[in-house]
Every structure is written in structure tokens, then in C-alpha cells.
């Protein structure tokens, strides 16, 4: 990873957002990818303090109950429960002394699989072909899939068909290796775009992220594929499969509210590989 590309810069124990963390909803709002990645980093740092290296992340839940602004972020953590096979860590993000988001990480100890047979789906999502998206751990423009196939041209995918995405995660802070858990926790916020992007752009804003993992990703390339969506009275529930180049990882669900008065119009949006948005429109 290049040191210059990151969502935050450290300021003591706090993190200060860089322009890469800015949301398309507002010029003074952090996007959920940056928020979730930073919260996951804080959870991992707290787990490290416990000295437990025998666990891996299995569940990650984030509540995005107040818009996080482009201001310094303070993270507080608590080990809620530590047992022989489980550690539960809570994380709170505050700005100017006010809570704006919270998260809960469940770390579990791997063991042998049970001997009984259990149903699993035969069809699993797969990443873009290598000639479209060569293997890379470097940050780059996400690939999107719809009825138009895989591409990095967002305008092609502003339609009503099923969506998928494939991304290489951006580091939370410069000069610090991005962990697979931070990568998938950050990418999980993309479930809202994958499930709520339609013919007029993204008209719903998610209020949470609920990620479950059977294993950690191999590297920091993460895929999402919409598997279900239900909407009534402006409240939407979206579900995506999570996968990497080695196969299925788990699922993400998001709850979202209609936000049509501030739609993010993805038509004409372009990014450079350093994460800079070259053009965008809000309606």
C-alpha cells in the first residue's frame, strides 16, 4: 500500500479524516466504508491488548445512528466478554464529545467442523474474470456488476438489475498494513449501494451494517452480490453475499431509509485509482 492513500491520519489516539473519507451524501459527512473500517481497526487493537491470537472475527455489527462529520474521531473500546472460545468487543466513535456510531465485534476460536451434513447453496458468487480485474492488493476503482456485466464505469450500472461489486480496500491509516478484517468490515458498508442502487441512483441511506463471517478473507479484495431486498414504506432490508477469490465468506445485511430528497446519482460518477472523485452529481 502507498502511504499517501488512506481514510484517516493519526493525531495522537484520534483519527482525522482525509478527503478520501468524504461521503457523496454531503461534503461534511464521512461515508460508512471509512467509519466501519476505522471502528474495526479499533476493535482489533483492543483484541490485541488481550493477547488472544487464537481467535478470528465472526460477527461485526455497526449502528450508524448519527452522521459522522469530517472532524477528528475518538474511539473508545470495551471487552464485554472474554471466554475460552469467544471475545466480544464494543467500540464507540465520538466527535466533539458526542456519540455518532457504535460497533460490536465477536471473535471466535476456530475448531473442527461437525460431522453431520447440512444444506448449503450449490451456486456461489465469483469475482470478475482476471482479464477484467487482475489480482491486486492496491487500492483501485471498484468494479461493479449488473446486467451490463463487470466494469468500472458507474454510468453503465444505473439500472434496475441485480448488482454486485468487487473492490480492493483502502487503508484506514497511512503506513499501517490493512488487515483482512478491516478490509471486509469496510467493504461491508457497500452492501447498501449494491442493494439500493437503482434507475435513479442510490435513494436509500443505510443506518447499520450486520456482517457475519465463516472465515477471514484471503487478502483485501472483497466482493458483494445482492441476494435479497425487501422494501415497505420507505424502509428497506438488503442482503448480500460476501466473497473473495477463494470463495464465499459470509453475508451482510443492511437496514436503510428512503432518502430520495438527497439522492446520490451515480450516473457520470468517475474515480481515479487514488480514490479521487473526478465528477459527481447530487439531486
Nearest CA-CA partner of 7 in 186, 220, 252: 186
Cell of 145: 456488476
The model scores a pTM over 0.85: yes
Angle at 114 between CA 113 and CA 115, to 5 degrees: 115
The neighbour count for residue 112, using CB atoms within 10 Å, is 5
Which residue spans within the chain are E strands per DSSP? 8-11, 14-17, 56-63, 74-82, 86-95, 98-108, 143-146, 149-151, 164-168, 197-198, 201-202, 204-206, 208-213, 221-232, 235-244, 247-258, 264-271, 277-282
Which pLDDT score, from 0 to 100, does residue 282 have?
A: 37
List pLDDT tens digits, range 257-272: 999 888 898 887 666 5
Mean per-residue pLDDT over the chain, rounded: 93
List pLDDT tens digits, range 66-94: 999 999 999 999 999 999 999 999 999 99
The neighbour count for residue 277, using CB atoms within 10 Å, is 13
Could you tell me if 39 and 91 are in contact, meaning their C-beta atoms sit under 8 angstroms apart? yes
Which pLDDT score, from 0 to 100, does residue 167 have?
A: 96
Radius of gyration of the chain (CA): 18
C-alpha–C-alpha distance, residues 58 and 107, integer Å: 6
Residues of the chain with pLDDT under 70: 1-3, 269-283
Alpha carbon of residue 243 to chain centroid: 13
**What is the C-alpha end-to-end distance of the chain, expressed in Å?**
35
Which pLDDT score, from 0 to 100, does residue 281 have?
A: 41
* Contact partners, residue 144, CB within 8 Å, separation at least 6: 150, 151, 152, 154, 156, 157, 163, 164, 165, 166
Amino acid at each position: 500500500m502507498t502511504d499517501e492513500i488512506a481514510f484517516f491520519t493519526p493525531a495522537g489516539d484520534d483519527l482525522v479524516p482525509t478527503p478520501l473519507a468524504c461521503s457523496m451524501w454531503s461534503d461534511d459527512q464521512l461515508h460508512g466504508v471509512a467509519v466501519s473500517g476505522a471502528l474495526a481497526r479499533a476493535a482489533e487493537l483492543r483484541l490485541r491488548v488481550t493477547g488472544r491470537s487464537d481467535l478470528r472475527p465472526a460477527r461485526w455489527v455497526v449502528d450508524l445512528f448519527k452522521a459522522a462529520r469530517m472532524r477528528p474521531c475518538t474511539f473508545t473500546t470495551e471487552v464485554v466478554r472474554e471466554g475460552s472460545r469467544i471475545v466480544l468487543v464494543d467500540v464507540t466513535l465520538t466527535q466533539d464529545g458526542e456519540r455518532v456510531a457504535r460497533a460490536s465485534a465477536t471473535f471466535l476460536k476456530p475448531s473442527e467442523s461437525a460431522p453431520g451434513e447440512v444444506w448449503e447453496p450449490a451456486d456461489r458468487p465469483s469475482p470478475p474474470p482476471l482479464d477484467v480485474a487482475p489480482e491486486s492488493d492496491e487500492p483501485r476503482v471498484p468494479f461493479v456488476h449488473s446486467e451490463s456485466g463487470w466494469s468500472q464505469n458507474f454510468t453503465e450500472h444505473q439500472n434496475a438489475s441485480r448488482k454486485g461489486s468487487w473492490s480492493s480496500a483502502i487503508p484506514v491509516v497511512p503506513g499501517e498494513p490493512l488487515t483482512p478484517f478491516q478490509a471486509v468490515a469496510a467493504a461491508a458498508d457497500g452492501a447498501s449501494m449494491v442493494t439500493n442502487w437503482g434507475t435513479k441512483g442510490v435513494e436509500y441511506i443505510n443506518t447499520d451494517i450486520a456482517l457475519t463471517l465463516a472465515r477471514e478473507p484471503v487478502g483485501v479484495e472483497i466482493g458483494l452480490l445482492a441476494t435479497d431486498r425487501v422494501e415497505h414504506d420507505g424502509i428497506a432490508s438488503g442482503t448480500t453475499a460476501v466473497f473473495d477469490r477463494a470463495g464465499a465468506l459470509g453475508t451482510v445485511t443492511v437496514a436503510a431509509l428512503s432518502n430520495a430528497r438527497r439522492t446520490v446519482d451515480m450516473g457520470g460518477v468517475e474515480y481515479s485509482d487514488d480514490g479521487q472523485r473526478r465528477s459527481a452529481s447530487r439531486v
